[in-house]
Amino acid sequence: MLEDNGIYKLKRYFALALDPIHVGTGGYRIGRVDNTIVREPATGVPKIPGTTIEGCCRSYAYLKSKEDGRNINTYCAKGKPKSETEQPCGSCEICITFGYARKDKSMQALALFSDARILFFPVATMIGPVWITCPMVLKDAGVKLNNDENKLEKLEGGFLKANDLTLPMDDDKKVYLNFGWLLLKGKDENINPMQWKYKENREYKSLSDIIPKDILNKIIIVPDELFSTIVNSNLEVRTSIAIDPETGTVEERALFTYEAIPRGTVFWFDVIYQNPKNFQLNEWNTELIIKTVEDGLKLFEFLGVGGMGSRGFGRLKVIGEFLPFDKYLEALEKRLEILRKKHKNDKIQAICNYLKNIKSEYTNWIEKIEEIINKFCR
């Protein structure tokens, strides 16, 4: 069933850093380097701003639309007019999903992106990599710990470890573990992150369906007050040089250092999808907006976020329960029915061209696609 009612739909996504992630304080896709990365003001923990995710997502969704043979103009990718004649169209999926400003009219985005915040952060230790988190981070992310909930009281400035990790124990029966320069002692108390759940809308879902088991089995919970310190002292810091693009030689005083969130970090973020029907966009529905956003998110894995992509930075694999393709086709068919009632033949024709173009790519759905084509296209 498609959800045509309601004010909005919230979808929770997770993301795994395949490269170090550098989002400079200067904004998204800064060409050159800025030393520091964006942080949460209250805790000092690095994050990826929602505006960065939105900006990349819009560009990539646009690229995907182009690839699918949709006739979308370049200014729709930016959403802003460049001159009197060079303007976003204000009626394609990119403009409707991400908002636009034209001379004659403008509209806010239907998809609203939260910041991507760190959920699990990888740290090299004497027993190999572990992923740290803390009670506050878990609570903010709405993670339900089940049987592990009451164990949080036993943290007592130490740590709790996933049951797969074996640690050295000292004479007073405490286990210990180093996080960089910091040595922590904890009770020999196990947690089982494979049982944890996350919440999406009103539903609880298994984290282990989404997050790799290799990570969940190596979780360590540290106290809130230590989380930021451990994260900030385990960021990637590298030194690099700037090359003068004209001469190809090293620029003078071009040595710089930069920091980045390391490969293996797990983030979470939400996208709120507002119902187009509440914006007098009656031919649209929420699923079409979700599909546009998710087309963009799927490309983060290849095209990356943030700066310094050319230095092997920024690839981020977004994971979540993506909209199934049949649900999308169902939503598209609904749109076509409304367009037909309104005699908007040019729009119908554009969708028909798109469907004919992608048909061969979706072999599992070819019958359904052909059925729609036969029903709506001449």
Asked if 76 touches Zn ion (CB under 5 A), the answer is yes
Asked if 216 touches Zn ion (CB under 5 A), the answer is no
Asked if 351 touches Zn ion (CB under 5 A), the answer is no
Q: Smallest distance from the beta carbon of 72 to Zn ion, in angstroms? A: 6
Q: Smallest distance from the beta carbon of 67 to Zn ion, in angstroms? A: 16
Helix 325-341 vs helix 366-376: crossing angle, to nearest 10: 0
Nearer to Zn ion, 19 or 93 (CB): 93
Give how many residues touch Zn ion by CB under 5 A. Answer: 5
Closest residue by beta carbon to Zn ion: 76
Rounded-to-integer distance, Cα 25 and Cα 46, Å:
11
Rounded-to-integer distance, Cα 247 and Cα 245, Å:
6
How is residue 169 written in tokens? 């124990």
Nearer to Zn ion, 101 or 152 (CB): 101
Assign 89 to helix, strand or coil: coil
Q: Which stretch binds Zn ion (CB under 5 A): 70-78, 224-232, 270-278, 341-349?
A: 70-78
Nearer to Zn ion, 5 or 83 (CB): 83
How is residue 311 written in tokens? 């230095």
- Report helix, strand and coil shares of the chain as percent, to nearest 5: 35, 25, 35
CB 286 within 8 A of CB 269: no
Nearer to Zn ion, 76 or 160 (CB): 76
Nearer to Zn ion, 76 or 138 (CB): 76
Nearer to Zn ion, 10 or 107 (CB): 107
Asked if 92 touches Zn ion (CB under 5 A), the answer is yes
For the segment 108-167, give every residue that binds Zn ion (CB under 5 A): none
Helix 50-67 vs helix 286-298: crossing angle, to nearest 10: 90
Asked if 61 touches Zn ion (CB under 5 A), the answer is no
Nearer to Zn ion, 85 or 374 (CB): 85
Q: What is the 3-state secondary structure (H, E, C) of 106-169?
A: EECCCEEECCEEEEEEEEEECCEEEEEECHHHHHHCCCECHHHHHHHHHCCCCCEEECCCCCCE
- 136 to 16, 43, 144, 307: CA distances (angstroms): 20, 11, 12, 29
Q: Which stretch binds Zn ion (CB under 5 A): 94-102, 215-223, 257-265, 314-322?
A: 94-102
Which of 53, 123, 98, 16 minimizes the C-alpha distance to 290? Answer: 98
Asked if 89 touches Zn ion (CB under 5 A), the answer is yes
One residue of 21, 95, 130, 308 binding Zn ion per CB under 5 A: 95
Residue numbers at the binding site for Zn ion (CB under 5 A) = 76, 88-89, 92, 95
